[in-house]
């Protein structure tokens, strides 16, 4: 849900901005390939970055976390 006057976070924007090693490896794979799914599994279950890092990146880049009432 886009809030008028704001932009939504784009998928993997953080990962690409910080030049995450796993994201760079993922970018080399063909989407949907077995290798892509294997590397993607690292992101899903064993991300090398913390929610703390991600949260502070969001703040530094002007993002706000909103939810409906």
Domain edges within the chain: 13-60
Q: According to the model, what pLDDT value does residue 66 have?
A: 86
- The closest of 4, 3, 7, 12 to 44, measured between CA atoms, is 12
Average pLDDT in the 64-69 region? 86
**List of E strands, the chain:** none
Sign of torsion over alpha carbons 7, 69, 65, 27? negative
- Asked if residue 3 has pLDDT above 90, the reply is no
pLDDT in tens, 19-64: 999 999 999 999 989 999 999 999 999 999 999 999 999 999 999 8
Q: What is the dihedral of CA 20, 25, 30, 31, to 10 degrees?
A: -40
């Amino acid at each position: 849900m886009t809030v008028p006057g704001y932009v939504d976070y784009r998928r993997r924007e953080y990962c690409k901005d910080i030049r995450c090693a796993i994201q760079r490896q993922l970018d080399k794979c063909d989407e949907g390939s077995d290798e892509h799914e294997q590397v993607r599994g690292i992101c899903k279950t064993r991300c090398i970055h913390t929610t703390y890092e991600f949260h502070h990146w969001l703040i530094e880049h002007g993002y706000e976390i909103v939810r409906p009432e």
